Chains A and B, each alone.
Chain A
Amino acid sequence: MASNSVIKPKTQAGKRALARREEKVIENTKSCLLIRGGNTSEAIGSCLKDLYSLKKPHALMLKRRNPILPFEEISFVEKMSRKYDCSLFAFASHSKKRPNNLVLGRLFNYQLLDMIEFGVEGYQPLCTFPVAKVPVGTKPCLSFQGEEFDSDPTLMAIKNLLLDMFQGPRVEKIRLQGIEHLIQFSYCDGQILVRSYRILLKSSGSKIPRVELFEMGPRFGLRLRRHKLATPEQFKQARRQPKVATIKKIKNIVPDDGLGNRLGRVHVGRQELDKLQTRKVKALKRPREDFNAADGKKIKKRRLSDNKKQKNKG
Chain B
Amino acid sequence: LATSVPPTFDLGLLLINNPNPLDPASTRGPELEPYLAAVARENAQSLLSEIWQRLPAERVEDAVVAPLPPPSTPLPREKPPPKPKPPSRWEEFARLKSIRRNKKEQAVWDEATGEWRPRWGYGRADPSKEWLLEVPASADPNEDQFGRLKKEKKERVAKNELQRLKNISRNMRLGGTLPALSAGGGGATSSSKELKRALVVAKRSDASVGQFSAKVGGEKVGHLQGRRRHFLPNTGSLTAERGIQEQVLKELAARRTDPLNTERAVNRLQQQREQSGDAANAVDGRRRPQKKKTAGKVSTEGGKSRRQNARDSKSRKYKKAAASGRANQKMKSLMKSKTLGKRK
Q: What is A's interface to B at a CB cutoff of 8 Å?
A: 1, 3-6, 22-25, 27-28, 30, 87, 106, 108-109, 113, 139-147, 149-150, 160, 163-164, 167, 171-177, 179, 182, 184, 186-189, 193, 195, 197, 199, 201, 207-213, 215, 230, 235, 237-242
A73, B103: Cα distance in complex, Å: 54
Distance (Å) between the CB of A54 and the closest chain B CB?
Answer: 15
Contact A240 B48 (CB under 8 A): no
Work out how many contacts link A and B, with CB atoms closer than 8 A: 175
A144, B10: Cα distance in complex, Å: 11
| Residues of B close to A6: CB separation below 8 A | 165, 168
* Given A23-B83, A108-B78, A167-B75; 12 other pairs, CB 8 A cutoff: A22-B82, A25-B82, A143-B40, A145-B18, A145-B43, A163-B73, A172-B67, A176-B57, A184-B43, A189-B27, A212-B41, A238-B77
A126, B82: Cα distance in complex, Å: 40
Contact A240 B80 (CB under 8 A): yes
B39 interfacial by beta-carbon distance below 8 Å:
yes
A27, B47: Cα distance in complex, Å: 27
Interface size on B, residues (CB 8 A): 53
| Chain B, interface SS category | mixed
Task: Mark out the residues of chain B between 66 and 125 whose CB falls within 8 Å of any chain A CB in the assembled complex.
Answer: 66-68, 71, 73-83, 85
| Residues of B close to A147: CB separation below 8 A | 5, 19-21
Q: What is B's interface to A at a CB cutoff of 8 Å?
A: 5, 13-22, 27, 33, 36-37, 39-41, 43-45, 47-49, 51-53, 57-58, 60, 63-68, 71, 73-83, 85, 165, 168, 171, 176
A23, B44: Cα distance in complex, Å: 36
| Residues of B close to A24: CB separation below 8 A | 79, 82
Q: Which residue in chain A gives the minimum CB-CB distance to B67? A: A173
Q: Which residue in chain A gives the minimum CB-CB distance to B5? A: A147
| Residues of A close to B71: CB separation below 8 A | 167
| Residues of B close to A4: CB separation below 8 A | 85, 168, 171, 176
A277, B26: Cα distance in complex, Å: 91
A171, B12: Cα distance in complex, Å: 9
Say which residue of B21, B41, B66 sits within 8 Å of A176 (CB atoms): B66
Contact B19 A211 (CB under 8 A): no
Contact B76 A238 (CB under 8 A): yes
| Residues of A close to B171: CB separation below 8 A | 4
Say which residue of B19, B64, B68 sits within 8 Å of A149 (CB atoms): B19
Given contacts A87-B78, A173-B67, A179-B14, contact A145 B73 (CB under 8 A): no
| Residues of B close to A164: CB separation below 8 A | 75-76
